[in-house]
Structures are given as structure tokens and as C-alpha cells.
């Protein structure tokens, strides 16, 4: 995740720049016409603010990263929520903590803009994945560490720039800060708030009303998010939701992601013989549950990665021409990734075109020798990618 003002680029580019007003005479009547500030001007102003304030932005992030944030650690999660409340209120954001028993609250913020007719919600989460300090490279997951490049690229640990030494704002693009949640998902929160600071400092008013939904148990499955938001749905009216918790493109280029993958958890029980059998006596006669399960899994997709479950694509909308053009314009880096990852070919391909459907099939009763499938969880949140033993990092600056 680009740190400097990462998600702030969204705010600066197409959300937050309020049209300026110019007066003109039409038929003897004076009318007010809104004139959009040039996008290039907004980008330059935001960039100049970031370059001049890297030390302040980084200090706020480092202090935030220093608060342990495992979702089940309620006392520390509450400290994170309290810190977020302070950060939001310092920007004039009306803030409320939507409590959840035994968990950290959902931090809700609202910033109204005079004359705005549209509302944008920013979502992010402030909890992080559980972490074993012994498996952490620097042994201190909640003590931010700066490296001159990524660990994978052989980055060396370096000192943070010193304000007293006149190097406070000398951060380099290739530097990386390592700490739990430095990329997922505390940097995007600081990035959005820094974008507000930049626009305010450069006298670029907002064009929209802003709301914030900051969750404290995303890495624990968001078990209470839906219920909590339903209880407070009167707060959530908006025209657009932007999440600061999404993927990065493998090429390293900034990415605006226009959709989230869902996930469904399944418990599958395969029934075999009633007792253990010796393969030398019963092999190739008694069904092997492991083979039955492998056949079931293999039957779910074809060689091109297309899901074969009946009805799976029923409610999937085909790509529009605009969406297809956007995908076609993406960087082509399949060959590079195949070499890097050591795979012969990717799962799926050009032949794997989306069609339509997702509907669970008929339930089957469990009988010896059959399969029992039970839906355990259905989530409309993003698909989970858990690499708990890996260090998480964020780069220091933003393409802006």
C-alpha cells in the first residue's frame, strides 16, 4: 500500500475538489456557475503538501502502528478506537463509537460539506491479523521499523529521518516501513486523513459529504459488522462507498478496484468404511474417502479454471464493453509472474469468461459412502488471504 497519501489520491482526483464559483451575467441577471478546479492543479497541490509534511504523516502512522491491534485483544483494540476518534475529531469529523460487546467498536465519522448533494463513505479496518513475535523478522511487530527496500529485495534496516538533523522530510519511494497492519490496513486510514489535511491546507474545499466506517474485527471475520450497521442504518445514507482495504496490482502501479470477491465456507464430510481397513486386504475394493474427496474437489472446476457447479454463474453479470476495455488496458505481466512463482501456467485464462450464476444446489442427505455438504458461512466481504507469519509493509510515498 502506498503510504504518503495513497487513498488520498482518490479524494484529491475525483471526489473532494469542490467546484469554485464564478459569477456571470445572463440576460441582465447575475448567475453563479460552478467551475471545477483543474485536476492537474489538485494533484500538484496534494503532492507538494505530502512532500513538505512527510515527517508529520509518518509520525502519526508510527504512533498508530505502535498500538497492538489483534481483534481479540479488546483492551488494546479499544485503545486503537480511542486513538482513531482523536485523529478524526482533530480534522473536524463528528465521531461516534458504535459499540460491540467483547470487541472493538465500529468507529463512525461524519463530515458535512455545505452545499454538497452527494455523500461518500470510506471503509477501512483498524485491527490486524494475529501475530507470533518469534516469527516476525524484527521480533517486534508493533514497533515500526524502516528499511531501505523490501525484505524480499534484501532491504536493510535504517533509522527514521531525524527532524533535528534536517532530514525529516527526506523519505524515499523505495523505502518500506514494517509493522503489523502497516499496509493492511492502518496506512490507508492515515492516507485518507492526510488527504483531508492536504486539501484543507491548500484551500481546496470538499465537493461531497464524507462518512467513515472503521472496523475493529475484519481480520476475525467481521462477525458483527452487518448487525452493527443494520442497527445504525440511519447513519449510512451515501452515493458511493470506497474501501481502503483491497489488493495491489502485481506491477506495483496504483490500483482502483471496482469490486469485492465474496467467499463461502463449506464443511464437507466424506463417509467411508465403518472401521480402519488394511490396504493390502481391502485396497481397490473398499472405497477410499480421500480419493472420493479429491474427485469431488477436482470436479468443481475444469482445466481452464471454470467452476462446474450447476447454477454457480446464474447471477453474475457479463462484463460491459467499458469494463472489458478497462481490463484490456491493464499491464500484461502474466509471463513475468509465472517465472517469479515457478508455475507452468495460470489457473484459468482467456477462455475462462464470466457467465451468470451463483445459487446453492439441492441439499443431500448423508448416507454411508456419500458426501455431506453443509454451508458454514457466506460472506459478501472480500476474499481472505492470510499470511500471518509474513511481515507486512507499506511503502513510504505515493505516486501523487
Q: What CATH number has the domain spanning 8-26+38-260?
A: 3.40.630.10
Q: Residue 83 half-sphere exposure, CB side, CA atoms within 13 Å?
A: 22
Q: Residues 206-243, buried b or exposed e (16+ Cβ, 10 A)?
A: bbbbbbbbbbbbbbbebebbeebbeeeeeeeebeeebb
Q: What average pLDDT does the chain have? A: 80
pLDDT at 12 over 50: no
pLDDT at 250 over 70: yes
Q: Is the dihedral of CA 397, 398, 399, 400 positive or negative?
A: negative
pLDDT at 386 over 50: no
**What pLDDT is recorded for position 34?**
54
pLDDT at 373 over 50: no
**What pLDDT is recorded for position 15?**
52
**Distance from C-alpha of 208 to C-alpha of 57, rounded to nearest angstrom:** 24
Mean pLDDT of 193-216: 95
**What pLDDT is recorded for position 391?**
43
Ordered DSSP codes for 301-331: B-TTS-B-STTTTTTPPPPPHHHHHHHHTS-
**What pLDDT is recorded for position 188?**
93
pLDDT at 354 over 60: no
Show me where the domains of the chain are located: 8-26+38-260, 264-321+335-379
- The answer to whether residues 382 and 162 touch, using CB atoms and an 8 Å cutoff, is no
pLDDT class of 330 with cuts at 50, 70, 90: confident
Start-to-end C-alpha separation, the chain:
13
pLDDT class of 111 with cuts at 50, 70, 90: very high
pLDDT at 389 over 80: no
**Distance from C-alpha of 378 to C-alpha of 398, rounded to nearest angstrom:** 35
Amino acid at each position: 500500500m502506498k503510504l504518503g497519501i495513497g487513498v488520498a489520491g482518490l479524494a484529491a482526483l475525483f471526489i473532494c475538489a469542490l467546484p469554485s464559483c464564478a459569477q456571470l451575467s445572463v440576460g441582465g441577471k447575475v448567475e453563479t456557475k460552478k467551475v471545477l478546479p483543474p485536476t492537474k492543479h489538485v494533484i500538484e497541490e496534494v503532492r507538494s503538501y505530502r512532500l513538505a509534511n512527510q515527517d508529520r504523516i509518518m509520525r502519526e502512522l508510527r504512533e498508530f502502528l505502535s498500538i497492538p491491534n489483534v481483534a481479540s485483544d479488546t483492551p488494546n483494540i479499544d485503545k486503537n478506537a480511542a486513538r482513531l476518534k482523536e485523529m478524526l475529531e482533530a480534522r473536524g469529523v463528528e465521531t461516534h463509537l458504535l459499540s460491540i460487546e467483547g470487541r472493538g467498536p465500529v468507529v463512525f465519522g461524519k463530515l458535512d460539506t455545505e452545499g454538497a448533494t452527494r455523500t461518500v463513505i470510506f471503509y477501512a479496518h483498524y485491527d490486524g491479523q494475529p501475530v507470533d513475535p518469534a516469527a516476525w523478522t524484527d521480533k517486534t511487530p508493533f514497533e515500526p521499523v524502516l528499511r531501505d527496500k523490501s525484505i524480499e529485495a534484501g532491504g536493510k534496516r535504517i533509522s527514521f529521518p531525524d527532524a533535528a538533523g534536517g532530514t525529516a522530510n527526506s523519505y524515499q519511494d523505495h523505502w518500506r516501513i514494517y509493522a503489523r497492519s502497516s499496509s493492511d490496513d492502518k496506512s490507508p486510514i492515515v492516507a485518507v486523513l492526510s488527504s483531508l489535511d492536504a486539501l484543507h491546507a491548500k484551500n481546496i474545499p470538499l465537493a461531497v459529504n464524507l462518512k467513515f466506517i472503521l472496523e475493529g474485527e475484519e481480520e476475525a471475520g467481521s462477525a458483527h459488522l452487518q448487525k452493527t450497521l443494520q442497527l445504525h442504518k440511519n447513519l449510512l445514507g451515501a452515493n458511493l462507498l470506497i474501501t481502503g482495504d483491497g489488493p495491489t496490482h502485481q506491477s506495483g502501479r496504483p490500483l482502483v478496484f471496482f469490486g469485492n470477491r465474496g467467499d463461502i465456507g463449506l464443511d464437507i464430510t466424506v463417509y467411508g468404511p465403518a472401521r480402519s481397513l488394511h490396504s493390502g486386504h481391502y485396497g481397490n475394493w473398499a472405497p477410499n474417502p480421500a480419493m472420493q474427496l479429491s474427485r469431488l474437489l477436482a470436479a468443481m472446476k475444469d482445466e481452464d479454471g471454470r467452476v462446474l457447479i450447476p447454477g454457480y454463474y446464474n447471477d453474475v453479470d457479463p462484463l460491459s464493453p467499458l469494463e472489458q476495455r478497462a481490463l484490456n488496458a491493464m499491464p500484461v505481466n502474466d509471463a513475468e509472474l509465472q517465472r517469479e512463482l515457478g508455475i507452468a501456467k495460470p489457473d484459468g485464462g482467456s477462455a475462462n469468461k464470466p457467465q451468470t450464476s451463483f445459487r446453492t444446489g439441492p441439499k443431500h442427505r448423508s448416507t454411508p459412502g456419500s458426501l455431506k455438504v453443509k454451508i458454514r458461512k457466506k460472506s459478501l466481504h472480500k476474499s481472505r488471504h492470510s499470511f500471518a507469519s509474513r511481515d507486512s509493509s507499506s511503502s513510504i510515498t505515493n505516486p501523487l
